[in-house]
Each structure stands twice: as C-alpha cells, then as structure tokens.
Structure 1
C-alpha cells in the first residue's frame, strides 16, 4: 500500500497495486466517530444518497451511467470498524473505463446531492426511512447474527462499541430533510476522508482530484488509544426469541493491541480455540460431547475481543459455557504441540495470502491498518503471525478475561423449562 498524500490534513489517498485484476476498485470513505446521537443520521444519509445526485437525479439515470461504464458496480454503505462508523462510496469498474470518468461518478454521488431549499427532499427522506426501518427490523431474523450483535453491545457497554452503526428505528421519526442535510454538510465539510484505489500504478496520480473536493478541515489525529473497556465482573444476559435452537455467546477480553505482536498471538489463539474444525472447541464440545449443533470462535476487528458462539439446546447452556471455559483453561495450562501450532499458523497465513487475490479484501485489510495507523502492508502482518510461539499462546489464554455470557433462547422452550 502506498499513500499518495503524506501531508494532506483531511483527505488521504492510498494506492494498492491492482495490475493483475481486470477491474479498478475505488473506495471513498468518511471516517466518523461512532456516536449514539449521529449513528442513525449517518445510516439514513447513506440510504438517501442512493436515490440520486445532481448529474444522475434518479435510479434510472444512475443505472444508465453505471451501464455505460461497462456495467460498473457501485454502492453507498455503512460499515462499523471498532469504534468507527464508516460512510463508504464505492465503484468497481472494468479497466476499459476511463479512471477520470469513474472518479467523476464517485464525486457526483458523494458530493453533489439532490437538495431543495437547503434540505433533502422530504419525500425521499420519508421513503428511505421506511426502507431503513424494514432493514433494521430484519436484523432480528438472523438469530446467529443478532446474538453476535447483542453480545458485542453488552461487552462494549458505555463505550462506542455498543453503538449500532446501522442506526436505531426509534430515532428515525425525529429526523427531517433539513436536519439530515445539516448533518451531511458537517461530514462533507470537516469529516476525515480516505480514498483507496486498487488499480494500475500509472493511474494513481489522477486520484489527487479528491484533494480539491475535500480540502480544509481539521488535521488528522495521531494514533488513537486502544479502546478501553470498563472494568466489571462478567455479566450474564438472557433474552428470548421465537426460535427452536438457543444461541450462546461468550465474550473474552484478551488485551491484545492492533499492530502489536499480541494481536497476532490472539489470532493464533483464536484459530486453535475455535477457528476451524480441528480446533479444541469443535473437537471437544461438538464431536466428543455432542453439546452443540455448531460452534466457532472469532475476533472482533481492531479490538482485543474474542468471542465464542454456539447453537445448543437451552438445557445444555450451562454445560456448554463450562466446556468453553475449560477449553480456554486447557490452552493456558498446556503448551500447544508444535505440529498443531504450525497448522494453526499455516491456516492463518493461507487466509492472509487470499487477501492479495481480491480487490475488496485488499482494500478492507488496508482500511483497518489505516484506521489504526498501524503497520503498512500484508508482509509485516504475516511475519508477526509466523513468529508467534506456544508460550505466547499460553500467556494470552491465561490473561483472557470472560466479560459477557449472552444466551438467546426460544420462548416455548424457556416456558417449559420454567414449569
């Protein structure tokens, strides 16, 4: 990854070598602090901006413009990374498309909105409120994802981690076209901008056009302190939903820090703990004890949080939680066999190697590095993984603290259990 502008205070441009791909990928993002009072406005803003812009004032003209760029794919979306809410404008186009034409499209959808009397058209805002409300309601349908989100909210209580980047349905009624446009202006005039271009090197200098669009603003801040979770005893949260199978999620704080050796150690620990079918949790709880339908551990981006989620019968919740804790204790007491350690690292390195095979994966990885002002490029990241030792894995397992146990159970089963 190469930064074109090292001294520009607000808009930074990054080039990723995409000469082997058939398409160019452009991602323009606003890096915003995740706050309860603005999260829904930003999520709704992404919806409203999809409706059109001055050069392309409706869905039809937007579709025609994309089709004229050989069927280019574009989107405006919201992504949560750690304690940040990212407003993304993306365009993936064939290399036959002139880079300046692609940038013109990206410029239009990001900085030339449709407005009436210093406000977004109210009929557009109303329509997109309804769409966002339906999307937020649908988040509860995927119980696995819902349990993951709820556990993150509980473990991140009183920090930005608990805030949903997708917004809140109860906030929508309070937002009108004028208020939303004022929020947009604040973002467009002072928000931190990052532009990623995955394409040919000879085209990268053209991206400096975005300097002129997003000039001024506050200087970029230095590396942020790692998110510190409030200290408290582990909490147990139980909720009910219309479902047959229960979902159990345990959250651990490993204290790992992005860009440090500890982060690579956490990734290796996760792989050994429950990251694949050869992991301790899968072999013990699912294969040996038959306690769960599925089980997997995973890390949360840009934090030291490690989660385990499993699908179980609600009556097996306590046994499953105890089994998960015992598995982590086992990793802390016994040094991992050299063969298993190497297998875990090899699997992780294989995943890392696939990043360079897909433009979106390259950009996503680079975004995380830039957000944390961490090491540049994939090679240093992989080098840290290669050097993780069995002793480091043991120490991290021992220092990982249980923070939250979240149980989502079926209503009917829960009633029967209570009788």
Structure 2
C-alpha cells in the first residue's frame, strides 16, 4: 500500500496534493521519464489539448497543476501535484479536494495515447522543447561546466546523468518507448503521497486511496562510492566563454545522522555556503579572483562541489586559492564567530523550509531515503552541537577528486 503523509497545517489557505514516483536513475529511461513529466500534465485522454486541460485547472479557482523530475541520492524521482484553494475560504463550498483528486487520477491513469504509444504529435513537440533546453544549457557555461564535472567525477555510474534527460539519447526516444517507461513507472516505481493543508486526516486518507489507487513497487538504489583520489583528476576543456568556469568535486566519508554528517553541513556553510563564507570573503571579495563562487553539498552521499566563474588570466591562481581555503579549515584557521554564524543561518533556513507546503513535502520525502529518521528538532540540535574541533575533523576527511575547468585559452 502506498504511504499517505498528511500534515493538518492550519496556517495555509491552500491544500497541496503530491505523488512521487521513485526508480533508480538509469541511462536507458531517464530521458523518457523526463519527457513523461511534461506530457502527463499538458494533455490527457479526456482533455486532448493543452488549452482544454488549462481551462479545467483554471476553473478550479486558479489551481496549479505541476510536475518535475529530480535526483535524490541515486534515485530518479518524478513528481506530480496540484495546489488548490481550501473550500473553507469559498463563499460556497464546492469540494475542490475531490475534484483535484479526480483530475490527478485523469492525469496519471489516462494519458493521451494512440494504442500502446503516447500521442506522436505531442511527443514531437516535447522533444523539440527538450532539445531547446539542452541547447540553452550548453550556452549557460555555469550549468554546462557543472554537468561536465558530474560526467567526469562519476564516470561509469548512471548517477552522472542529469534528471532532466540526456541529449544523446533524445533522438532514439519514441512514443512507444515513452509508453514503456510510463507502464514501468505506474506498476514498478516506489510511490508516496503527500497532502498538506487545513484538512481532516481520516477524510483525506479515504479520498486519496479511492482516487489514487496505484500498485506499489520497490526501488532498489545503487550504493554510490567512487573512492578518493590521491591526486585530483584535472580536466581542461576549451570553449567559447568570456570567463573561465571552475568546477571542483570533493569526497567525504559521511554517514547520515552521525556527528560527522552535521559537521560536514556546517563545514560547507563556512567553506562556501553563503556570503559570510571563506570562499566568498577571500576568493571573491578580498582577492577579486571570482565573479561568482559558492560551494554546495550532497551531505547524504558525502560529496561537495565548488562552482566559480573567474578571470581566464588568473584561473590557476583561483583554483589554488580555493584549495587554500580548504587547507585553512583543516588547519583550524577560521573563527568561532564564523561557526556561530553558519549554524544560525542553517537553523534559520531549516525553519523557513516549513513555511511553504513544498518545503514540508520535500523534507518529509527526503527522510525516506535514510535508515536514520531525524525529526526537525533532532536535526537542529545536531547542527547546534557541532564544535570547532568537529569542523576541523571532518574537513580533514574532505579530499579533492576532480577539477573541471572551461576556458577558451590553451594556457591561462
């Protein structure tokens, strides 16, 4: 049976209903699934034109039907949801919740098909839109550089592919192959349903199970461990760019929910997580070596990435200076005040997450990927307990794996 997570939150005037489909990220299906997420929320068997479906959604007091794909750990997650106004705020109740469930049922269970294939014309349009997105990403050197880093760092693992599809696979996608991906998603994906708003849990559970009665599957995910590099893998690509783009991937041996996990989160905030970080203050502000720079982590998997746009002429100096900031943390050359600021920012951001329905949904869903289930209070306590020594300890277990640079000079 599909789990139904309900949050009877009274502060929102809307109700959000979301269903998530989880499968291992796979080179052979990621492009079809990305196209599916678009096709399913644009037309259905009952509403075969985008305008018809748009009108139905708009008639429900401006409801918002949406879909998207993401990567979480080594899973490819397809999300379909709808936001509606709560009947309690209408002059005449119209049972919009049930109407929204009926629409989701239509979207999920009755797509626009021709036999055992999606509508060829609609597929052709979405393929054109996907190709346009690939083209725009190649033009956006920051995005392109990051994706190239992922290709190099996770070579041999399907984790290297982006959630939104693979350009080289797009031409081979057919209406029939999308239908096969749809059938696999419907019957074999691991699914979870989320509802948040001023609702009654018993009524919601009854209605959800009536309209979204789907078979439950199991997603067996790959354990991703690429190991550490004794000498960083350095790749330089020549491209047409006014700035050099630096993308650095690092590894850390982290287990979710442990002291090192919380220390890693705080470490990243100090290293390059915001405008108070060492990367921002030293590399960008003090030395003017970067136009933009930040670090981000996948703390559950134990990976950290630095993304920067720098002067081509000082590219090597910028790389060395970025790595010097890591060495500074390993040596304890940072202030207690920086830790205090980092922890305050992290806790504030965590609390703000629950001020939005999507924030609660995503945070609740993310817990399902971990053996250790942390409450928000436990997570905040874990962050607040991180010490100066903890940050130094975890920094010493961070190792540079891959450095990927984009530039248009043979020698910078």
- Regarding TM over 0.5, the answer is yes
1:94 aligns with 2:85: yes
Matched, 1:66 2:68: no
- The secondary structure found in structure 1 opposite 2:3 is strand
Retained in 1: the 8 A contact 2:24–2:222?
no
Q: CA deviation at 1:220?
A: 6.7
Q: How does 1:16-35 map to 2 (within 5 A)?
A: 16-35=7-26
Cα deviation, residue 95, structure 1: 0.9
> Quick one: distance in 2 between partners of 1:65 and 1:285?
52
Q: Return the offset for 1:173.
A: 2.4
CA deviations 1:357-400 (Å, max 9, x no partner) are 11112212222222335424322211111111111100111110
SS in 2 for 1:303: coil
For 2:198, the equivalent position in structure 1 comes to 200
Q: Distance in 2 between matches of 1:16 and 1:145?
A: 35
Match of 2:225 in 1: 228
Per-residue CA deviation, residues 165-210 of structure 1 (Å, 9 max, x unaligned), is 2112222222222222122111101211111111124146424555
Give the secondary-structure state (helix, strand or coil) at the position aligned to 1:302. Answer: coil
CA contact (8 A) 2:70 2:78 kept: yes
Q: Look up the SS of the partner of 2:28 in the other structure.
A: helix
The separation in 2 between residues aligned to 1:205 and 1:370, in whole angstroms, is 24
TM-score of the superposed pair, with normalisation by structure 2: 0.91
Q: TM-score, normalised by structure 1?
A: 0.90
For 2:207 and 2:141, the matched residues in 1 are separated by 44
Alignment of 1:241-280 (within 5 A): 241-280=239-278
8 Å contact from structure 1 (residues 375, 381) kept in 2: no
Return the alpha-carbon distance in structure 2 between the equivalents of residues 94 and 301 of structure 1. Answer: 35
Tell me, yes or no, if the aligned pair for 2:42 and 2:49 is still in contact at 8 Å. yes
Unaligned runs of at least 5 residues, structure 1: 1-7
Count of matched residue pairs: 403
Structure 1 residues 288-342: Cα deviation after superposition (integer angstroms, max 9, x where no partner): 2222222211113632111112211122121111111111111111265332211
Unmatched 5+ stretches in structure 2: 88-94
1:391 aligns with 2:382: no
d(CA) in 1 for partners of 2:342, 2:257: 20
- What is the CA–CA distance in structure 1 between the aligned matches of 2:121 and 2:363, rounded to whole Å? 38
Secondary structure of the residue aligned to 1:102 is helix
Cα RMSD (Å) of the superposition? 2.2
Matches within 5 A, 1:109-148: 109-148=107-146
State whether residues 57 and 64 of structure 2, in contact with CA within 8 Å, keep that contact through their aligned partners in structure 1. yes
Aligned to 2:41: 50
Counterparts in 2 of 1:219 and 1:328: CA distance versus 1, 3 Å:
closer
Worse-superposed segment, 30-39 or 104-113? 104-113
